[in-house]
């Protein structure tokens, strides 16, 4: 039998239907991957410049425009960084409601990703519409959960897309007790749905995968880190947001206008699986019992379990929102007064897709001198390339081009990067020699 060597060059010049622009180049020569480049053009790069000279009161609304899916993450991170610099102590009400607001975003973003983007891959479906034919009840359930997440965001943000509720010092307004009562009933009703979602996700057959990587995410002394906490890594690192630059670096690569992040020179994972890998001991007991029951062992080295991790975080977010809204009362004031001061503000939170870090240099008038925003997608970019290389080698390179392309897409979508918000974005041009 003659072994047939081949050269395959897969160029995707523009990834269509994505937030920003990106591309994938893959070249295989004589059975080896000789080029693998994921090129991303991230919108947040432009926002940093837009922010210069803007007053601190504008920042939460401006950064909310960075992402239509995770605006709360940007708002809360910016507000938190500035509140730290200005020496602001949030009221207990505002502190709790920031977490509830954030839970809403996790619920809607994770529900969307699971049902519209990731799950179709594991059922051999081209998109969510095809999945809806196979699993209509599950897709309906996913859409209900997503709508509930949106409703929570709308409660505190006045709208779910690019909300406007957050201000430095708290919120602009407080929802009425009647509205909170109504949403609490829905949250309670959604708990069994989220549990069913976890069981469904756990039953999805996943490709075998066993990779070594560093997980990076936030960690809080006594709860599952969402909107507050320090930055932790699975090798034992635990630092405050202000020490991010000491351990993490961003650098330009010639093939991308997005910055690649590295941790001590290495790629790393951020996002729901990294969070669970770092914070299993911060999960409520009932959630841990459920994980044991379904056999979800943590830490996990199978990146395809990210879908299940998202399902677990939906349940966690529902429980947290319900807990924090128990005994809700409209506060005397939803915000505390703020006096700006000059200095450097850093802050981080856990966006649905992973760690989000902000740094603002502010002047005496409370205006931005310069800003830096490190979004999760940039941080995962190096890890995605590494994963693609390892996954393709494990998968085998002698598959037809369409099969290789599909596998690449599946790997990329698994990270839920903004650029892969399209389900099938690779329009292949294949060259063979």
Partner 1 sequence: MSRVRIFGIGSPSGDDQAGWLVVDALLETGILRDSGIVIEKLDRPGASLISRMEGAERIVVVDAMQSGGMPGGIRHFDRNDVSDYGQGLSSHGFGVLAALTLARELGSLPPRLDLYGIEIGSAMPGEEACAAVGTAARQLASSIASELNVRARG
Q: Shortest Cβ distance from residue 360 to partner 1 (Å)?
A: 25
Tokens, residue 67: 């992402």
Question: CB–CB of 25/35 below 8 Å?
Answer: yes
SS3 of 107-149: HHHHHHHHHHHHHHHHCCCCCHHHHHHHCHHHHHHHHHHHHHH
Which string of x and - marks every residue 147-176 that binds partner 1 (by CB under 8 A)? Answer: x--x--------xxxx--------------
| Span of 109-117, 165-173, 181-189, 387-395 interacting with partner 1 by CB under 8 A | 109-117
Residues recorded for the chain:
433
CA–CA separation, 290 and 39 (whole Å): 39
CA–CA separation, 74 and 347 (whole Å): 10
Q: Shortest Cβ distance from residue 331 to partner 1 (Å)?
A: 28
Instruction: Return the bridge partners of 71, or none.
Output: none
Which string of x and - marks every residue 404-423 that binds partner 1 (by CB under 8 A)? Answer: --------------x--xxx
Cα distances (Å, whole numbers) of residue 265 to 246, 252, 274, 363: 12, 13, 18, 33
Q: Is 362 in the site for partner 1 (CB under 8 A)?
A: no
Q: Is 117 in the site for partner 1 (CB under 8 A)?
A: yes
Question: CB–CB of 347/360 below 8 Å?
Answer: no
Nearer to partner 1, 347 or 417 (CB): 417
Q: Shortest Cβ distance from residue 242 to partner 1 (Å)?
A: 32
CA–CA separation, 176 and 154 (whole Å): 13
Q: Is 28 in the site for partner 1 (CB under 8 A)?
A: no
Nearer to partner 1, 150 or 215 (CB): 150
What is the three-class DSSP state of 360?
strand
* Number of residues near partner 1 (by CB under 8 A): 35
Nearer to partner 1, 19 or 42 (CB): 19
| Span of 50-58, 121-129, 287-295, 309-317 interacting with partner 1 by CB under 8 A | 121-129
Residue written as token pair 């966690």: 316
Residue written as token pair 């969070």: 275
Q: Which helix (H) or strand (E) holds 307?
A: helix 306-325
| Span of 52-60, 111-119, 175-183, 366-374 interacting with partner 1 by CB under 8 A | 111-119
The residue from 6, 140, 341, 399 that contacts partner 1 (CB under 8 A) is: 140
Q: Is 306 in the site for partner 1 (CB under 8 A)?
A: no
Residues interacting with partner 1, by CB under 8 A? 16-19, 68-69, 109, 112-113, 116-117, 126-130, 132-133, 136, 139-140, 143-144, 146-147, 150, 159-162, 418, 421-424
């Amino acid at each position: 039998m003659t072994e047939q060597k081949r050269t395959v060059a897969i160029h995707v010049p523009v990834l269509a239907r994505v937030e920003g622009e990106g591309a994938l180049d893959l070249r295989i020569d004589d059975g080896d991957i000789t080029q693998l480049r994921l090129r991303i053009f991230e919108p947040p790069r432009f926002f940093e410049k837009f922010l210069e000279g803007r007053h601190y009161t504008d920042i939460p609304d401006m950064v909310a425009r960075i992402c239509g899916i995770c605006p709360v993450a940007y708002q809360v991170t910016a507000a938190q960084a500035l509140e730290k610099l200005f020496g602001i102590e949030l009221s207990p009400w505002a502190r709790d409601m920031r977490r509830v607001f954030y839970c809403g975003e996790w619920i809607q973003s994770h529900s969307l990703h699971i049902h519209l983007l990731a799950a179709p891959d594991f059922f051999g479906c081209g998109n969510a519409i095809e999945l809806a034919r196979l699993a209509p009840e599950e897709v309906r359930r996913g859409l209900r959960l997503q709508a509930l997440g949106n409703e929570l965001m709308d409660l505190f943000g006045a709208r779910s897309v690019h909300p406007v509720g957050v201000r430095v010092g708290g919120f602009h307004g407080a929802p009425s007790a009647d509205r909170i009562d109504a949403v609490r009933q829905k949250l309670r009703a959604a708990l069994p749905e989220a549990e069913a979602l976890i069981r469904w996700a756990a039953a999805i057959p996943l490709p075998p995968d066993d990779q070594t990587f560093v997980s990076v995410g936030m960690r809080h002394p006594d709860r599952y880190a969402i909107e507050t906490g320090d930055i932790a890594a699975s090798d034992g690192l635990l630092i405050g947001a202000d020490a991010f630059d000491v351990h993490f670096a961003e650098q330009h690569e010639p093939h991308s206008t997005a910055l690649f992040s590295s941790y001590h020179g290495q790629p790393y994972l951020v996002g729901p699986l990294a969070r669970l890998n770092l914070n299993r001991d911060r999960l409520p007991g009932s959630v841990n019992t459920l994980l044991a029951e379904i056999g979800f062992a943590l830490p996990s080295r199978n990146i395809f379990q990210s879908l299940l991790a998202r399902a677990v975080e939906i349940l966690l977010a529902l429980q947290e929102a319900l807990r924090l809204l128990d005994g809700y009362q409209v506060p005397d004031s939803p915000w505390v007064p703020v006096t700006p001061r000059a200095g450097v503000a850093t802050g981080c939170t856990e966006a649905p897709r992973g760690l989000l870090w902000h740094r603002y240099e502010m002047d005496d008038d409370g205006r931005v001198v310069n800003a830096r925003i490190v979004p999760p997608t940039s941080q995962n970019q190096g890890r995605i390339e590494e994963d693609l290389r390892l996954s393709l080698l494990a998968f085998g390179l002698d598959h037809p081009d369409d099969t290789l392309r599909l596998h690449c897409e599946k790997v990329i979508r698994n990270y839920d990067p903004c650029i892969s918000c399209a389900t099938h974005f690779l329009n292949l041009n294949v060259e063979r020699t």
